[in-house]
Amino acid sequence: MEDPHFTTKLLLFITGFLFPAMVTSVGINYGQIANNLPSPEHVVPLVKSIGATRVKLYDADPKVLKAFANTGVEFIVGLGNEYLSKMTDPANAQAWVKSNVQAYLPATKITSIAVGNEVLTFNDTSLSGCLLPAMESVHTALVNLKLDGQVTVTTAHSVAVLQNSYPPSSGAFRPELKGCISPILDFLSKTCSPFLINAYPFFAYKANPKQVSLDFVLFQPNAGIVDPANNLHYDNMLFAQIDAVHAALGRLGYNKMPVQISETGWPSKGDEDEIGASQENAKKYNGNLLKIISQKKGTPARPNTDLNIFVFAMFNENLKPGPTSERNYGLFKPDGTPAYGLGFSGIGVSGGNSTSAGGNGARPNGPAVYLSPPENSSDGYMDISSSPEKLVQSSWRRLGMGLFLIWLAMAFDI
């Protein structure tokens, strides 16, 4: 008789070779802008196979939250940008928290709610004006439900919120954003919540491969650069970006605020003009990143602080708009096989996983209270990522990475 768990056992056995147990704690972004992904039940062993203990969602997908019940995996659930205006109403916020967070606790370990994504770099004042009130309403709901002791409220930012990034010690926020960022930081400090930043060295290399050292962005051996202000040596761009964020926070009086890298990754495929997008480079970036995380190695400015990083992303997502790279950030293909081996010989196997009808499309069996998105939107994450505003946001993200071009040109005397 066929073992009903044979596929899962085989998958775990094989991925043990491809993703050995070298990572003690890593986070993974689980996006679902696709129509060919495995069911959440089949994703559970994949998450465990890479040593991930934390998952970040861009919504609060009930199927995912149910599938991961009693697994011990921690979750950051998301509230899309299109919900912000409604979340400023405390009644809406409480209804959302009850149905999308409280309903799954304690079986599913939800530890944080990310309200909005890269809102401050959308250049939409009405949207940015709703961000903090929405965060406050969600937090108040958690307090009312006596959940604030176990669930934090935060929001993810693009590195484009930085005005200065070279040297890292001179990191500072853009002056025009300080009016929004300062009260958000005050909220995060008072609620003991982390500051989330999305960082992609790939964009800096893609923008100017002649000036940006590929080894520097891929964590490969290189001469590196030295911060002239404190003589700290940097051998990779991601650490420089993290310390620039710490410096920016310190300038506003938040030296002790914890920083999490809510997104970072490298595409395994891209268009002709997307220089650097390849399996080889993706393998080096993510493979070296996972090794660094497993070493519990801090940054030059924060050597004793463990890195808190969420890799982007779990799967290649075939319905994401934009250049080819946007659909090829996954560690896994939709059939459950690795997109590439992280420094090990690849062994292909069919995962035999059932597929879902698209990541975050309409869910007739969704939670009792799942706020309706604006007209012409299918749902939170899909709407944000497929909208023109998301493309603008992507451009700002690229600009944020580009801030390092001047730095590198100066540092390497190019």
DSSP, residue by residue, 40-79 = HHHHHHHHHHTTEEEEE-SS--HHHHHHTTTS--EEEEEE
Q: Name the catalytic one among 74, 136, 263, 326.
A: 263
How far, in Å, CA of 141 to CA of 299, rounded? 36
DSSP, residue by residue, 222-283 = ---EE-TTT--EESSHHHHHHHHHHHHHHHTT-TT--EEEEEE---S---TT-TT-SHHHHH
Q: Name the catalytic one among 118, 136, 317, 389.
A: 118
317 in active site: no
β strands within 123-253, DSSP E: 152-158, 162-164, 172-173, 195-198, 225-226, 233-234
Our measurement of the distance from residue 30's CA atom to the centroid of its chain's CA atoms, rounded to an integer in Å, reads 9
DSSP, residue by residue, 76-122 = EEEE-GGGHHHHTSHHHHHHHHHHHTGGGTTTSEEEEEEEEESGGGS
DSSP 365: T
Q: Angle at which helices 178-190 and 125-144 pack, to 10 degrees?
A: 10
Neighbouring C-beta atoms of residue 203, cutoff 10 Å: 23
Write out the two tokens for 298. 């801090």
Q: Which residues pair with 26 in a beta bridge?
A: 52
Contact indicator for 232, 242 with CB cutoff of 8 Å: no
How far, in Å, CA of 381 to CA of 363, rounded? 13
- If we measure between CA atoms, which residue out of 201, 71, 188, 173 comes closest to residue 139? 188
Write out the two tokens for 354. 């059932």
82 in active site: no
How far, in Å, CA of 222 to CA of 216, rounded? 6
- Enumerate the active-site residues: 118, 263
